[in-house]
Amino acid sequence: MKEWLMNEILGLDDVEALARDALKRAGASDRAAASVARSTRAAERDSIRSHGLMYVPIYAEHLRCGKVEGLAEPEVHRPKPSAVRVDAKDGFAHPAIDAGFDSLIEAATAQGIAAMTVHNSYNCGVLGHHAERIADAGLLGLCFTNAPASIAPWGGKTPVVGTNPFALGVPDGAGGATLVIDQSASAIAKSEIMLRAREGRAIEEGWAFDATGAPTTDAEAALKGSMAPAGGYKGFGAGLMVEVFAAALAGATLGKDASPFSGPLGGPPRTGQCFIAVETGALSGGAFGARIEDLAAAIADQDGARLPGSTRAAARARTEADGVIVPQDLLERIINS
């Protein structure tokens, strides 16, 4: 095995190899390990720590305890010309999405619009990366993923929906994305609270409530209570919308019934995803590209403003030049996982 501990600054190839090797040792197939490792690389490339290498020991734990089936072979079905349905078979979401992705792009290109749902699934990593992948294929991508319940209805105390991100990838007409919107229904990603709890740090005001429904800055108390929805009742509404697409429409497990993405208990979460891809020319009469350029300029030309996704783009340039700084204890946890 490569002596990773000799260096805390890793190149992206090393990040991917480190993740892939750990996942294979824990019982993932070559295909599953490679797919999740690519996602881990992309998260570290974009400086999204919460979905990068820090998640690898969790993935490994879930492979070993049976929360994720490492040898699962996703099944792809085409019930309608514009509909793709993937059964992840209790395995990782990433290889299931990969299995149906070409069919989604083919159907959207041929039909003008198509949707792919994934059920019996798991955490799909950074949702915006999937939306960007659709945009890179020249299509408008709208994506949803549900998660174990962590947000209570506004005025309630019992979580009903998860942080439930949604993402939009807008193509630039040249094989890339003009902008990528990626946001969750919660004020902050749950993985950020988990990170603070692991590091023994307080969370910010307005991020969460404790089990009694009172606001808290204690990360451990927050994990036992409820995440605060972004924008109050509007955030819960956004989470509910995602639940309709990613759970109900996908035929996946509702967040309120899903086992947690953290810890070994509860068996496979069997959550879901939904991806909508749109061929923009037919619906816009060919005007889409010009309208997006105009819209993007109206944002980017303002001092202090930025297009959604531009921060990630800047992080990519830094990471590709400087590498990824990985804490020694995290390297040890990955190697020993």
Instruction: Please report where in the chains the tokens 């899903």 appear, as a residue.
Output: 258
Cα–Cα nearest to 126, from 327, 336, 309? 309
Counting Cβ atoms within 10 Å, is residue 81 exposed (0-12), middle (13-18) or buried (19+)?
Answer: exposed
Alpha carbons 328 and 53: distance in angstroms, whole number: 12
306: CB partners within 8 A, 6+ apart: 299, 300
Cα–Cα nearest to 297, from 137, 287, 289? 289
Q: Pick the catalytic residue from 51, 94, 119, 130.
A: 51
DSSP assignment, residue 336?
T
Tokens of 266: 């509860």
Tokens of 107: 């159907």
Tokens of 144: 């949803």
Alpha carbons 211 and 152: distance in angstroms, whole number: 11
Strands (E), 212-318: 215-216, 226-227, 271-278
44 tagged catalytic: no
118, 96 Cβ separation under 8 angstroms: yes
Q: Pick the catalytic residue from 75, 192, 310, 337.
A: 192
Q: Which residues pair with 169 in a beta bridge?
A: 141, 180
Q: Pick the catalytic residue from 8, 47, 50, 75.
A: 50
DSSP assignment, residue 204?
P
121 tagged catalytic: no
Pairing state between β 113-121 and 83-87: parallel
Active-site residue set: 50-51, 192
